[in-house]
Structure 1
Amino acid sequence: MCSRYLGFFLLVWFPGALHAQSAALQCAAPSLDHGYFLPVKETYSHDTKLRYGCENTHKPAVEGWWAEIVCQHGTWSHTPRCIEEKACIPPTIANAKYTEASEGWYEEGHIIRITCDKGYEHKDNIATAKCINGTWSSLPICESKSFSFVQSLNLTP
């Protein structure tokens, strides 16, 4: 008799609990200045991938002309952002470090100074890069000190 009541309780309670759990995992539609989302909805379920693009004169603050965010447990993977087309996203420079912008991107004209990791040095003594019209000018290369030493000896076969 007790198991009958337990079965009835679980039958009534379980669907309600599942619905409450799935509703809690949804993400509200994000906002985006100078951009748009595909598809447009008021809420998005867990694991939904939402693509976004930016209006003319702007671009996503990530690599490429389209970007993607993912709804994870009621929160978006990152805040979508459109920046001016002439701004630069952080460069990828192997074996190096530089001061990252607090906004995650750099305005046109910004100059970054690159520091090579231990055991590496600047190739051609270039240690800075400048954001010009949305791209970095002359990105420095950090090469192994042992490679540059062998290269300076001009030991080519």
Structure 2
Amino acid sequence: MAPFVILRAVFGYLFLVLMVRIVGRRPGKQLTPFEFVLVFYLGGLTLTGMVGTEASLTNAVTQILAVALCHYALAWLRFRYDAFAQILDGTPLILTEKDQWRSETMSRMRIQDNDVMDMARAQGLSSLDKVDTAVLEAFGEIAIIPKEDKEKS
């Protein structure tokens, strides 16, 4: 019974990491998708251990330890291999550059120009012609790089 519980916990964790990578980067601005899954999955495992059909402390602890070890292994792989980190976390994506929207990238990430302009306005930039580059960071936040004021140079 215990090996099945461990395998179910590991499979669920890896499946959720994959789903968050497929679904997108917008679940949280400060958490990476990798961390987002860990927080919610461990909470779910804890709840299952308390009220689920297999409500035993042993099963809950075993599942949580299995996921913690799995998370540790993925974190180690991310640290050790840059390619693995890019697969899990993604890379920054350019959304606008030289007054042009990268509509294919924005469409793929399900971001509208209003999302980008909201971030620009938060930095005091009122229009696209004042934005040099907009970047969707790997952790989901949109970074705005303003054009340099030629009068200040």
Same fold (TM over 0.5): no
Point out the structure with the larger helix share.
2
TM-score, scaled relative to structure 2: 0.29
Kindly name which structure, 1 or 2, has the bigger radius of gyration based on alpha carbons: 1
Point out the structure with the larger strand share.
1
Higher relative contact order (CA 8 A, sep 6+): 2
